[in-house]
Amino acid sequence: MLTVTPEDDKAVEARIKKTNEALHRPGIKREEVTAGYDKWAETYDEVVLLVVLLVVLVVMI
């Protein structure tokens, strides 16, 4: 069973924030956008799983 801790949440939030900032900065090139979304896609399943688990935990409380 996967255990979600506050540190996991903070790490995911930090990664999402960093990716968003990198992909929406002025003057970014198309190749950089593509590379950024490719990197984001590598962890997409992990982020979605974490969100689903958090929703389940909230519903159970």
pLDDT digits (tens, 9 = 90+) for 36-50: 788 778 777 777 887
Return the structure tokens found at 58. Answer: 């909230």
Question: Is the predicted pLDDT of residue 1 greater than 60, yes or no?
Answer: no
**Does 38 or 8 have the greater pLDDT score?**
38
Q: What is the pLDDT of residue 38?
A: 84
Return the structure tokens found at 46. Answer: 């992990």
CB-count exposure of residue 26 (10 Å: 0-12, 13-18, 19+) = exposed
Tens of pLDDT along 10-37?
A: 887 887 788 778 778 899 899 988 887 8
